[in-house]
Structure 1
């Protein structure tokens, strides 16, 4: 299994961050594999057609994609962990663009499988790859980036709270498939048969994304990163799982907020999940607080809301009742509600 040896100081100084390039890579994979991502549809027909046309216009890039996107592997130069000075996608993509072609080819040669195709031996290989990622960013990520960023930042708040209450072992073990804290300075990052890696005094980053599984990245020896699925949050977007009886009792917005508070969440998270304004969410939270269905507590600079036992019982009873109720094909389920995320 792949294990990273992490010193106490490195773990203590590690941090969560948001990366536009990381999210672009997740969308790049979704486009290439025609794969849906949590909480989102498959890439649109227009996006897919544009992406295929982009590859058809540059056979070198098309060959690179076939070579680079192999199972459980991604070239290091495509996914550099963000540096402290990086603030935008353009800050991050410059490191891909500036990679010498010889370095990019050498990394491709380390991938399992077939040899590197000869047509990739061009002096501007890294520039072509960066241009492709820039296209993916512009056409699939940038239009929705403010909302995605809010959701990622909300996830970071929840993860930070989890660390403060349950420690790193609890937070890391549930972060991505195959990863868990082994103790004694050892972090299992996956179940593959790789030799242990000593991070020394490197910077360690944790980056949320819409990726369904995640990956690890590094710029040795300075920076290492764990890219993980934005747990639970994006999966909830656009999926109406609120019991109908609860919506009839409390109203659709209030019922949705209460249902989503199975784990502590900030108002920022709830805004991102529901698509309603901060004032709207705040007003409904106040009603739920007054009814003693939720409570709140401070975690660092954020205020987290969570259900009380009474709130848990109310949601649980309505959910259970709906499971065992068959209203029949002619029953009146009420008017369908318009999704805020269509």
Structure 2
């Protein structure tokens, strides 16, 4: 059982990550591979990518086993940017490496560290560089082709949680993060492989939705690190495949044109800026702005100014057109 202890200050500082964290998704998806996950949700993905990832997992798997403790330094916080995270990985201090490798041996008595871990404990820049390069190779082969799906699923979960928060407060949100979640202020209890207490101490909590997280929430082991709770989100089976070209999708594209149909579908997940919608659809910001103007004039999208940007959301009329399979976003 994991028990997270809140104060009123912690609740005030608790927030959601709006995007998937590359290193958390990398490590947790690696666990799916190691467990030979044959489930309906992840079995097809595993069969699709396993052969191309054999050489890209060996180093990481040694420090991120399918069960038990994974070294905390493999999931550095860095604003959901893989390049920044791997640079932080390369700069991991020697003292932290030594402590976490000792923790690994203590908490995973049935798992032997490889011989090269002794060199890593000295702060070897060579090995840290190899770990960072391995992370990039794994991400490119196993996650990047699916990252739009991962990103959109996480954003969708955050939008649903935001509605929960608006209508039911933190009690509605924290009590439904997982089937094992129990919220009795000031403690959130969750099913966990070991007994662990996390005292937030006024720091608040980052709630990180995870696409590849499957069986239960997870967290960093070191209580001195910035508190984060990674929890699983819902999926649709077949997420790894492009959606069939349904008659509804063909009709929508024929009616609006592909660019405007893509923008309408992308905007349906919430409220976004022009730049965000351009990135999600692969359009340039200027083209996205032009097509959004046409959608707004047709009453399919509503737009409002907020400080120095414009926020767009789908209208009720726009939602009524979005029947059938979602339009695939370009990589």
TM-score (normalised: structure 2): 0.66
Identify the residue that residue 215 of structure 1 maps to in structure 2. 218
Contact conserved, 1:217 with 1:225, CA < 8 A, in 2?
Answer: yes
Partners of 1:297 and 1:161 lie apart in 2 by 20
> What is the Cα-based RMSD across aligned positions, in Å?
4.8
What displacement does 1:9 show? Answer: 0.8
- C-alpha distance after superposition, 1:29-75 (max 9, x if no partner): 4665677979x8843754x24326xx3xxxxx58835xx5133x332
Identify the residue that residue 311 of structure 1 maps to in structure 2. 318
Identify the residue that residue 104 of structure 2 maps to in structure 1. 107
Given candidates 68, 87, 92, the residue that maps to 1:95 is: 92
Cα 1:178–1:90 change in 2 (3 A) is: farther
SS state of the match for residue 105, structure 2? helix
Cα 1:29–1:280 change in 2 (3 A) is: farther
Contact conserved, 1:264 with 1:304, CA < 8 A, in 2?
Answer: no
What displacement does 1:95 show? Answer: 2.9
What runs of 5+ residues in structure 2 fail to find an aligned partner? Answer: none
Given candidates 288, 298, 301, the residue that maps to 1:291 is: 298
Partners of 1:136 and 1:26 lie apart in 2 by 15
Identify the residue that residue 112 of structure 2 maps to in structure 1. 117
Cα 1:245–1:179 change in 2 (3 A) is: farther
What displacement does 1:139 show? Answer: 1.6
Identify the residue that residue 155 of structure 1 maps to in structure 2. 155
Partners of 1:81 and 1:179 lie apart in 2 by 27
Cα 1:285–1:173 change in 2 (3 A) is: farther
Q: State yes or no: 1:224 paired with 2:224.
A: no
Partners of 1:33 and 1:286 lie apart in 2 by 48
Whose Rg is larger? 1
TM-score (normalised: structure 1): 0.65
What runs of 5+ residues in structure 1 fail to find an aligned partner? Answer: 56-60, 323-336
Please show how residues 144-183 of structure 1 align to structure 2 within 5 Å.
151=151, 155=155, 158=159, 162=163, 165-166=166-167, 167-172=169-174, 177-178=178-179, 180=181, 182-183=183-184
Identify the residue that residue 66 of structure 2 maps to in structure 1. 70
SS state of the match for residue 288, structure 2? helix
Partners of 1:159 and 1:301 lie apart in 2 by 26
Contact conserved, 2:208 with 2:230, CA < 8 A, in 1?
Answer: yes
Identify the residue that residue 8 of structure 1 maps to in structure 2. 8
Contact conserved, 2:192 with 2:218, CA < 8 A, in 1?
Answer: no
Partners of 2:318 and 2:240 lie apart in 1 by 19
What displacement does 1:89 show? Answer: 2.4
Contact conserved, 2:6 with 2:186, CA < 8 A, in 1?
Answer: yes
- C-alpha distance after superposition, 1:240-280 (max 9, x if no partner): 67622222222223223323444323144433432222223
Contact conserved, 1:24 with 1:136, CA < 8 A, in 2?
Answer: no
Cα 1:246–1:223 change in 2 (3 A) is: same
What displacement does 1:292 show? Answer: 1.2
What displacement does 1:110 show? Answer: 1.7
Partners of 1:123 and 1:184 lie apart in 2 by 44
Partners of 1:76 and 1:187 lie apart in 2 by 24
Please show how residues 246-285 of structure 1 align to structure 2 within 5 Å.
246-266=252-272, 267-285=274-292
Cα 1:43–1:75 change in 2 (3 A) is: same
